[in-house]
Structure 1
Amino acid sequence: MAYRFITADTVDAVTTLAIARPDKLNALTPNVFAELNTAIDASLDEGARAIVLTGEGRAFSSGADLMPDGAGYEGLPEDLGDILEQHYNPFILRLMALPVPVITAMNGPAVGAGLALALAGDVVVAARSAYLLLAFVNIGLVPDAGATWLVARSAGRARAMEMALLGEKMTAADAQTIGLVTRVVDDETVLAEAQSIAARLAKGAGKAIGMIRAQVNHAVDASLVDVLTNECVNQRKAGFTEDFREALAAFGEKRVPVFKGR
């Protein structure tokens, strides 16, 4: 399918989605989210078992597009809560709830809501030259698209407060040090590294991987009792999967298991 604001490419059960507005530093609009949702639906229907999310050109995403673009986007509405409720928030929630892993290839700056989109990945691979920026305070706004939660839960209240209040750039290396970014690699290898990780996961025990990502996200806000209960429920399900039976057979036969995601 042809897209206007993104690109989508699937190789060996890994779908790579790229925001394709390099002239606008991949600024986000409702059209971008609509096309990402359509591409995700198509990739899952075609059997994708991992997704890579990145941006074209020199930025991952500069965040919300503040101005009309002459391509059907009229700019931000007067009530900013509307665009969040209708587009940003549903997409972030959907991304976090997908049954397949999401790897973000942060090829360049991730700013504002673009930062939230980058950090929503299960594994965040950043280019060495990339940076994170909660720029909202610089234009009189507050963090949105889940950026507050994502930064505070990963790096802690103090770091989240500093980033949100000062609105200063954070290098990829510093972001890795405080736990916001998983890996930092040379700029020219960032997409290949993310795709390699995704390919590895796509060959794994798909049902278990889906439950793991949901289980970890649940654990962030849950009590130990709730986590233990959730682990028990998920382990019961995992124990009945074909992948687990294949793993047991492979162990007994001293070979590498061949998982089918069932």
Structure 2
Amino acid sequence: KKVSLELGGKSPNIVFDDCNLDDAVSGAVSGIFAATGQTCIAGSRLLLQDTIHDQFVEKLVAMAKMARLGDPGKLDTQVGPVTTPAQYQKILSYIDIAKGEGASCVLGGGPASKEEGGGKYFVKPTIFTGVNNKMRIAQEEVFGPVLSIIKFRDEEEAVTIANDIAYGLGAGVWTQSLKRATTMARRIRAGTVWVNTYRAVSFTMPFGGYKASGLGRENGMEAIDGYLQSKSVWINNGAGGGNPFIMKTS
């Protein structure tokens, strides 16, 4: 029986110094803090080119600070609570792990107290800098509002960092260069690559992962394959049978 499995990820959101900075900052915030980071395609690894790192982080922190925490049933809420007590504790434990590994917490880093939504299980939007890709906070799926920022020098290093992971569900690339965008999209081992956007989906586009992020595809024509089986039919239209001890070939 055919199956399709989507198994999560640790997606890289890669920002080059020729990007539209404001758009990329907004995309980074959306990538990790929308749905409280509890999405399979969360852009939880933010790869920043070293030439724009400090400027980008400053803008990113300023925007993330403005996120409205509250009741997930209200339309103006931007970051809601974590779904379960167990997941809440898991996220907080990963925050402690990141601090223990030497990452620098520049925003959040702990629980948030809110009366809305029952008042429990809120985690502050959290951003870590000084992360290297070997840290657990960079390699393991947290499934919460926790962002790891990793510096890179050039395109080659960005590809190496992006692919140095067990997962391969999604990736983002922010650049004004079409050549760079298409090159990165080809080289990154991920089922979906967004260029100058993030978290865009459509029922017409196949969705699924590489490596430990799953197998098979949802959506698009590829999704229909899971419901089909091939059949081979051979018809002899009157030609002689030939030697019965030799397999027929064509």
Query: TM-score normalized by structure 2?
Result: 0.26
Q: Greater Rg, structure 1 or structure 2?
A: 2
Query: TM-score normalized by structure 1?
Result: 0.25
**Greater helix share, structure number:** 1
